[in-house]
Amino acid sequence: MLLSLTREPIFSREEYFYITEEWNKLRKEVLRQCVCDILIPIFQREAHERLLEEARDCVIRKASLRLNHLISTEAYRKTFSYEEEDDDMPDLGTRVASICYSADRAEATFAVVIDENGMVMEFMRLVHFTKGMRSKFPDDVLLKKKDLRELFYLIQRRRPHLIVLNSENMDAIRLAEDIRNMLKTEVEVNKTFPVQIPVEITNSDAAKVYMNSRMSTQEFVEFPPLLRQAVSLGRFALDPLNEICHLCNAEDDILYMKFHPLQNEIGKSELLFALQLECINRVNEVGVDINRCLEFPHTAGLLQFVCGLGPRKALHLLKILKQNDNLLESRTKLVTFCRMGPKVFMNAAGFIKIDTAKIAERTDSYVEVLDGSRVHPETYEWARKMAVDALELDDAVDQTVALEEILKAPEKLKELDLDAFAEELTRQGFGNKNITLYDIRAELNYRYKDLRMPHMPPNGEELAQMLLHDDISNVQGKLVLGQILSVAYRKINEKETNLKARWNDFTSTWVCPCCKRDNFKEPTDVSNHFGEFTGIRECPGVPVGLRVRLDNGLMGFVGMRNISDQSEKITDPTKLFKPGQNQYFRVIEFKPDRLECDLSCKSSDLRGEEDRRDKYFDSDRFQEDNIADEKSEESST
């Protein structure tokens, strides 16, 4: 549009004097310099900066959404219980067995069982775990069965409620299926172990970062890297939020996780701020048991995200509490003993929870039951008043006793008229506390209820995302390298059994009407191929395509129409392709639910450049602009 101004007769006079024409040329040159040398570069720079800023914001937003998706899953809850617990192993809550293998099959696999607090109970080294059950070598199968047997003994001793496997590559699907089959067989044979334990493939990005971090070597000095990864993977399966916050340390290890392909192109401080903001929102939604942070140091990373604290105050708070026998009996001691300031206390008190049941077992002092809830200390009196009114007791009654009774029968709180209570508080000068009262009632019904999404096994798209380590939206249209496994055939139907052999003039041989083989010298050879005389059919059927394994482990299929640009002339694909042959393919369609691809090896598809335009690209407007530019160039010449 700006360039069109230089071609229009603007600021010119339609006279035919020599001086007038010179002035018109000068005005046109001035206008051209103003537009081309000043305005357009400024607009280009502004557009570039704006697009760059929007792209940066988009990457940060998508990275934050990715992290939010990881930490929005609540802690794993066991779906079953063992009928009998051994006398020497009391009930330790939810236990997870974590198995980590390497892409290098020569490297040993490690399995570890951790308790509900993320502490290691027992671990095992499995040398032959990655071998295949369908291996050509019988010794490999025997060694694999031996490792599976040892793994079952570990499961039988420690009795986990969940088995997780790292998402190293596509082999994870095969290994997970081997574990399921082993458990199914053992459950059928061993009646003393009548439990089918769920086996899942879990995102191992955080576990890999922890494996290579400095804090992992300090926590597990003698553990090999893969075993440290297994420990972190089990902790991630127990509670993703805890393990992600564990990576938010002084070295900023969380930045080594891959949240977006372009995250390295933006500033680390901006990305770190966005990721920490997601952790702050989620941690304060869940709450932090500060005594658990003192008892298990790997959970202390949560405390830094409590409102009003931060890394420095959280570290100082833990340091003070370690001098008090690693115990915080009540929230009031945050002020009296820890010397927490009033503003920090007002911000943090509601998000620091205390397990009142455990505190009552460890101390004889008075335990405030509301310290184990989201109710803020400044509203404790309102909560007690609600308990007394719900039980219809006199004000002279001990409110603490009433509160304990209402926690046992919270359904009585439904009869309260909270709107009238809110109006009374407004008259007393506390402002509009209607929402606060409803939140208190909800909290008394279920103290510190986890509002995150329940744990669910990964679906097809999530599993493909984990195993491919790439955005699955980029798979379709890619040029990939694969190995041909075999030719796929379909069964012969009744009509095709009556087909007769055809004569091929070009090869001077007879052709099978189904599999299209043309190396038969006599029609009787085709009949024998069909099994008419021997009863043994050698014909595999009608060829429908090729089975392919891609380099990334995905399985693919090439239909007959996608084998060549002249597919109608190709009847027997075995003449062109052999098992084990490496070939380039173009991904036509990716099916994440089945982890399969529809491929093409047509020359036209292989030569075609990848269309990197996204779905928001306006192709019609692009063509219109090209036509307009061509017309303007023609008119200028």
Q: What is the CATH number of the domain that holds 599?
A: 2.40.50.140
Looking at the structure, tell me whether residues 436 and 574 fall in a common domain.
Answer: no
Structural domain contains residue 48:
no
Structural domain contains residue 519:
yes
> Rounded to whole angstroms, how far apart are CA atoms 545 and 547?
7
Structural domain contains residue 339:
no
**Which residues, 6+ apart, have CB-to-CB distance to 178 below 8 Å?**
133, 144, 148
- Give residue 512's domain range: 492-540
pLDDT per position as a tens digit, 135-187: 788 888 899 989 999 999 899 888 899 999 999 888 899 999 999 988 888 87
Which helix or strand (DSSP H or E) is residue 27 part of? helix 18-32
Q: Where residue 610 falls among pLDDT bands split at 50, 70, 90?
A: very low
> Rounded to whole angstroms, how far apart are CA atoms 164 and 175?
11
275 pLDDT more than 50: yes
Q: Where residue 22 falls among pLDDT bands split at 50, 70, 90?
A: confident
Q: What is the predicted pLDDT for the residue at 609?
A: 46
Q: What's the chain's average pLDDT?
A: 83
**Which residues, 6+ apart, have CB-to-CB distance to 398 below 8 Å?**
none
> Rounded to whole angstroms, how far apart are CA atoms 589 and 597?
6
Looking at the structure, tell me whether residues 400 and 421 fall in a common domain.
Answer: yes
**Lowest-pLDDT range of 24-38, 369-383, 510-524, 604-618:** 604-618
Q: What is the predicted pLDDT for the residue at 283?
A: 92
Looking at the structure, tell me whether residues 96 and 208 fall in a common domain.
Answer: yes
Beta-strand pair 542-550/479-490: antiparallel
CATH of the domain at 234: 3.30.420.140
pLDDT per position as a tens digit, 303-326: 999 998 889 999 999 898 888 777
Which helix or strand (DSSP H or E) is residue 273 part of? helix 268-286
Mean pLDDT of 451-465: 86
Percent of the chain beyond pLDDT 70? 88
488 pLDDT more than 50: yes
CATH of the domain at 404: 1.10.10.2740
pLDDT per position as a tens digit, 188-238: 877 666 678 899 999 999 999 999 999 999 999 999 999 999 999 999 999
Phi and psi of 166, rounded to 5°? -70, 150
Q: What is the predicted pLDDT for the residue at 490?
A: 81
Beta-strand pair 509-511/120-126: unpaired
Looking at the structure, tell me whether residues 202 and 131 fall in a common domain.
Answer: yes
Nearest to 94 by CA among 74, 70, 110: 74
Q: What is the predicted pLDDT for the residue at 36?
A: 82
> Rounded to whole angstroms, how far apart are CA atoms 118 and 579?
47
**Which residues, 6+ apart, have CB-to-CB distance to 450 below 8 Å?**
74, 75, 286
In this structure, what token pair is assigned to residue 570?
A: 């190709």
Which helix or strand (DSSP H or E) is residue 110 part of? strand 109-114
Strands (DSSP E) contained in 348-411 are: 352-353
Looking at the structure, tell me whether residues 392 and 523 fall in a common domain.
Answer: no
CA distances (Å), 511 to each of 472, 524, 532, 576, 624, in order? 43, 11, 16, 17, 54
Q: What is the predicted pLDDT for the residue at 124?
A: 92
596 pLDDT more than 70: yes
Give the relative orientation of helices 460-468 and 171-189 as an angle to the nearest 10 degrees: 120
Mean pLDDT of 280-286: 91
Q: What is the predicted pLDDT for the residue at 192?
A: 63
Structural domain contains residue 71:
no
- What SS3 class is residue 390? helix
Q: What is the predicted pLDDT for the residue at 66?
A: 92
One-letter amino acid identity for 443? Answer: E
Q: What is the predicted pLDDT for the residue at 49?
A: 92
One-letter amino acid identity for 385? Answer: K
Burial call 394-428: b when 16+ CB within 10 Å, e when fewer: eeeeebeebbebbbeebebbeebebeebbeebeee
Looking at the structure, tell me whether residues 480 and 497 fall in a common domain.
Answer: no
> Rounded to whole angstroms, how far apart are CA atoms 600 and 564?
8
Q: Is 546 exposed, middle or buried (0-12, 13-18, 19+ CB in 10 A)?
A: buried
Q: Where residue 533 falls among pLDDT bands split at 50, 70, 90?
A: low
Contacts 24+ apart (CB under 8 A), 39-47: 39/2, 40/2, 40/3, 43/2
pLDDT per position as a tens digit, 320-339: 888 877 788 888 888 888 88
Mean pLDDT of 542-564: 86
Percent of the chain beyond pLDDT 90? 22
One-letter amino acid identity for 351? Answer: F
Torsional class of 542: left (φ above 0), alpha (ψ -120 to 50), beta (otherwise): beta
Looking at the structure, tell me whether residues 432 and 477 fall in a common domain.
Answer: no
| Partners of residue 502 on adjacent β-strands | 511
CB 603 within 8 Å of CB 565: yes
Q: What is the predicted pLDDT for the residue at 52?
A: 92
CB 582 within 8 Å of CB 597: no
Looking at the structure, tell me whether residues 480 and 377 fall in a common domain.
Answer: no
Q: Where residue 11 falls among pLDDT bands split at 50, 70, 90?
A: low
Looking at the structure, tell me whether residues 97 and 202 fall in a common domain.
Answer: yes
Beta-strand pair 555-559/582-591: unpaired
Structural domain contains residue 478:
yes
Structural domain contains residue 128:
yes
Looking at the structure, tell me whether residues 156 and 194 fall in a common domain.
Answer: yes
Q: What is the predicted pLDDT for the residue at 603?
A: 83
> Rounded to whole angstroms, how far apart are CA atoms 257 and 436?
38
Nearest to 363 by CA among 324, 400, 313, 402: 324
CB 441 within 8 Å of CB 418: yes
Structural domain contains residue 454:
no
Looking at the structure, tell me whether residues 480 and 499 fall in a common domain.
Answer: no
Looking at the structure, tell me whether residues 115 and 173 fall in a common domain.
Answer: yes
> Which of 180, 211, 238 finishes a domain?
238
> Which of 188, 205, 238 finishes a domain?
238
Number of domains in the chain: 4
Structural domain contains residue 281:
no
Beta-strand pair 288-289/352-353: parallel
> Which of 501, 519, 540 finishes a domain?
540
